[in-house]
Amino acid sequence: MVTFDYTLHAKRNPKAINVAEPRTRLSFNKDWKFFLGEKSGAQKPAFNDLTWRKLTLPHDWSIEGKFDEKNPAKPEGGGLPTGIGWYRKNFIAPANFKDRLIHIEFDGIYKNSEVWINGYYLGKRPYGYSSFSYEVSKYLKQGKNTIAVKVDNSAQPDSRWYSGSGIYRNVWLTSTAKIAVAQWGTNVQSTVMNIAEGTGTAMLSISNRLMNARASHQKIIVINTIYDAKGKLVLKKESPQFDLDTSGKTVFADVHIDKAKLWSVANPTQYKLITQIVQNKLVIDEKETLFGIRDAQFNAKYGFYLNDEHLKIQGVCLHHDLGALGAAINVRAMERQLEIMKGMGVNAIRTAHNPPAPEFLDLCDKMGFLVMDEAFDMWAKKKTKNDYHLAFAEWHKRDLEDMVKRDRNHPSIILWSIGNEIREQFDSTGIALTKQLVSIVKNLDQSRPVISALTETNAKKNFIYQANALDVYGLNYNHKLYKDFPKNYPDVKFLATETTSALETRGFYDTADTIRKWPRDGKTKFVEGNAEWSASAYDNVSAYWGSTHEETLKEAKKYNHVSGIFVWTGFDYLGEPLPYPWPARSSYFGIVDLAGFPKDSYYLYQSEWTNKPVLHILPHWNWEKGKTVQVWAYYNNADEVELYLNGKSLGKKSKQGEDLHVQWDVNYEPGTVKAISRKGGKEVLVTEVKTAGPAAKIQLIADRNHIKADGKDLSFVTVRVLDAVGNLVPNADQLVNFKIEGSGFIAGVDNGFQASLEPFKANYRKAFHGLCLAIVQAKEKEGTIKLTATAKGLSSSSIIINVKK
């Protein structure tokens, strides 16, 4: 909840300009009623919703449903139900709403939302990833008011991945004076010179879009004040008094900051702008905007530079779902995803293939990630029958403008993407559309390059490229073409917008002499695969258009002109279960599985993309006697790795040439396989894997033992199935039952298996390769949560999580 802070205000304005009623922006998530299905008349205030389910937003009804091959979204869409849903909420209008502007802001509704207030139709919004708002003051009345929202996600299939259904992002109620800064009305553009040691001279151009809903023009003053990250006043700029007429106005202020602290991946510092509108010595509106100052440049020869320092973009693509929580946003769940990505050395995220929740971008600003913010997966030409192409002609301008307006103050965003693998690249309509979309973006923000993720590699036949309007060339896949890119596209800036599409299942190992392409090509039916519905975690399987992790990494690191890569994908996501048919229902592409457990290739990236010492060996050590088992080691910060089996050395190895791992063929015998990495003869790290005995007990590990009593915070509890002496049992698949007591509830369960049809909303889950997950959510009451996990034949385990205000 955002409230006005009078003390801060008084501190900032010692000479006390008086404050009229402050702007408020309150969460509007609570006390909604929900009905799954069509209901005629539900928009009417008098409609009886007594029997409807009460819930708190954000909400995704699809994730609550049952997997079924026959669900219209199909396995590609996640195999969960979609349909129509209605939401209603009664609320008391803010005091003196007649003298105010009241907006209801929706961060995102999937999709085709229609909104009524007190029976008045406010409008519709087809695109499920856009944020939008309605001004409602004139429809409000004293006392009880009713808002009704119809969500129609029934026309299926509509997406190549899982979308979720419902009001899946936050809703806000904003109250301002009738003269106020508009939503997304503030923009801080900066250019930086004299960059040295994380600082620079910044020229800022601040613009504020002001609205005036009074009957006549008004005399006002605008004051822009900037504070640094520590809350120290940096500067203040006051406009002369001027006339604001009823059509509103955009007002500009140019200021500069010497020795501005620059935002970077390593030091993501931000500034705060407070914009005040003053009338008759009274502050009638005050709005806060976070922004960052940094210089980001792409260079055709040398790649990407942040604040004059070369930085290889080590990116991943992410879809918006949060695994077992579905599309319903949760800040902690997003933060955990980003923490896990940071841990492997990721410095950039591509929001595939749509604008993300605003909180996701806030986290990227705060945590130091670069972002490629993407608008669309299709334009006028469809990819699936009922996708956004149906709304494109009428809505694309608005949707694209709203994305840029909403997001342009985020220092994390370094690229606007106007689309992914857009069909119009293959025909001449692509030229005009590309030009139009680029100019929509440039009208609102000229400070960032515009890109599109392309697949047509013949420049002459690529009509998006032929439009000659993009700032950076985005290539998907085709890692063999990186080398000659400068020859084929002289002076063109280059980024590998999507790479790899390797296929892996955590904990499943299957050696192969050659790299497998699953499916083999675009024509042949997929007949390979195995009874486990799994793909080997040895990094030896990929989609035919992609590569293994190592293949692309090797190419990308060789060439400076490759600004960086966005690996498809950081996490597994719901939908697109390629290459397996049903019951597969989520992707195999993730470096991390859907539950958030890293697959082995996580450590490949960690060894390449971070400086922290890494020594990771695979696979587990439970095999049939006599089998030849390949043991791989990912390592860094060392010259060599020596492998031992039951104390006996199997030899030293070191990466040669382009190698990204070392490996041994080991004649299996049970016991301990141990690796030691050494640098200059000195031991760096030791890693061991032991043969596990029969499953005996459960271990619970919470990622956080203290969470907030805010009704939203989460603790992710990992369940490990261990043998009697504490080794993880690599193929354990026991059914684990959860009991939860106290101040929390189970928000979801998972085990990362891509073909599991168990529900995500449950108090049980089968272990998968030894692991499963319970996501525990805090209630609003302080206290403790006790989570107990039991399984047949295993000794059970409990964990305590503290819940505090």
Closest CB to ligand GAL among residues 112, 547: 547
Query: What DSSP character marks residue 240?
Result: P
Q: Residue 730 and residue 732: Cα distance in Å, rounded? A: 6
C-beta atoms surrounding 665 within 10 Å: 10
Asked whether position 402 contacts ligand GAL by CB under 6 A, the answer is no
Residues in 709-738 at the binding interface with ligand GAL, rule: CB under 6 A: none
Query: What DSSP character marks residue 2?
Result: B
Which of 170, 158, 167, 169 shows the shortest CA–CA distance to 575?
Answer: 158
Q: How far is the CB of 420 from ligand GAL (least distance, A)?
A: 5
Whether 498 is catalytic: yes
Residues in 445-484 at the binding interface with ligand GAL, rule: CB under 6 A: 476
Residue holding tokens 């030229």?
431
Closest CB to ligand GAL among residues 409, 497: 497
Q: Which residue is nearest to ligand GAL (CB)?
A: 501
HEC readout, 680-741: CCEEEEEEEEECCCCEEEEEEEECCCEEECCCCCEEEEEEEEEECCCCECCCCCCEEEEEEE
Asked whether position 190 contacts ligand GAL by CB under 6 A, the answer is no
Q: How far is the CB of 459 from ligand GAL (least distance, A)?
A: 19
Q: How far is the CB of 352 from ligand GAL (least distance, A)?
A: 6
For 478, the 3-state DSSP assignment is: coil
DSSP string, 368-436: T-EEEEE--S-SSS-SSTTSTHHHHHHHHHHHHHHHHHHHTT-TTEEEEEEEES-GGGGSTHHHHHHHH
Q: What are residue 555's phi and psi, to 5 degrees?
A: -70, -45
Q: Which one of residues 212, 420, 622, 734 is an interface residue with ligand GAL (CB under 6 A)?
A: 420
For 359, the 3-state DSSP assignment is: helix
Asked whether position 318 contacts ligand GAL by CB under 6 A, the answer is no
Q: How far is the CB of 503 from ligand GAL (least distance, A)?
A: 9
Closest CB to ligand GAL among residues 589, 602: 589
Closest CB to ligand GAL among residues 303, 577: 577
Contact in structure between 201 and 258 (CB atoms under 8 Å): yes
Asked whether position 568 contacts ligand GAL by CB under 6 A, the answer is yes
Q: Which one of residues 387, 498, 572, 750 is an interface residue with ligand GAL (CB under 6 A)?
A: 498
**Site mask for ligand GAL (CB under 6 A), range 109-148, x = bound:** ----------------------------------------
Q: What are residue 469's phi and psi, to 5 degrees?
A: -120, -10
Number of residues that bind ligand GAL (CB under 6 A): 10
Asked whether position 421 contacts ligand GAL by CB under 6 A, the answer is yes
Closest CB to ligand GAL among residues 576, 723: 576
Q: How far is the CB of 567 from ligand GAL (least distance, A)?
A: 11
Closest CB to ligand GAL among residues 160, 408: 160
- Tokens in use for 85? 């849903």
Closest CB to ligand GAL among residues 44, 381: 381
Closest CB to ligand GAL among residues 352, 722: 352
Asked whether position 501 contacts ligand GAL by CB under 6 A, the answer is yes
Q: How far is the CB of 161 from ligand GAL (least distance, A)?
A: 7
Asked whether position 365 contacts ligand GAL by CB under 6 A, the answer is no
- Tokens in use for 726? 């504490």
Q: Residue 27 and residue 654: Cα distance in Å, rounded? A: 56
Q: Residue 535 and residue 753: Cα distance in Å, rounded? A: 11
Closest CB to ligand GAL among residues 417, 797: 417
Scored b (16 or more CB within 10 A) or e, 737-766 reads: ebebebbbebbbbbbbbbbbebbbeeebbb
Residues in 148-167 at the binding interface with ligand GAL, rule: CB under 6 A: 160
Catalytic residue among 64, 286, 374, 421: 421
- Tokens in use for 751? 């085990």
Catalytic residue among 64, 498, 550, 551: 498
Q: Which one of residues 403, 543, 584, 618 is an interface residue with ligand GAL (CB under 6 A)?
A: 543
Q: How far is the CB of 417 from ligand GAL (least distance, A)?
A: 11
Q: Residue 760 and residue 750: Cα distance in Å, rounded? A: 6
Element (H, E) at 649: strand 648-653
Query: What DSSP character marks residue 586?
Result: B
The packing angle between helices 429-444 and 389-407, to 10°, is: 30
Q: Residue 390 and residue 393: Cα distance in Å, rounded? A: 8
Q: What are residue 118's phi and psi, to 5 degrees?
A: 45, 40
Residue holding tokens 């970077």?
264
Q: How far is the CB of 772 from ligand GAL (least distance, A)?
A: 26
Whether 421 is catalytic: yes
Q: How far is the CB of 684 from ligand GAL (least distance, A)?
A: 36
- Tokens in use for 159? 């997406």
> What is the set of active-site residues?
421, 498
- Positions in the binding site for ligand GAL (CB under 6 A): 160, 420-421, 476, 498, 501, 543, 546, 568, 576
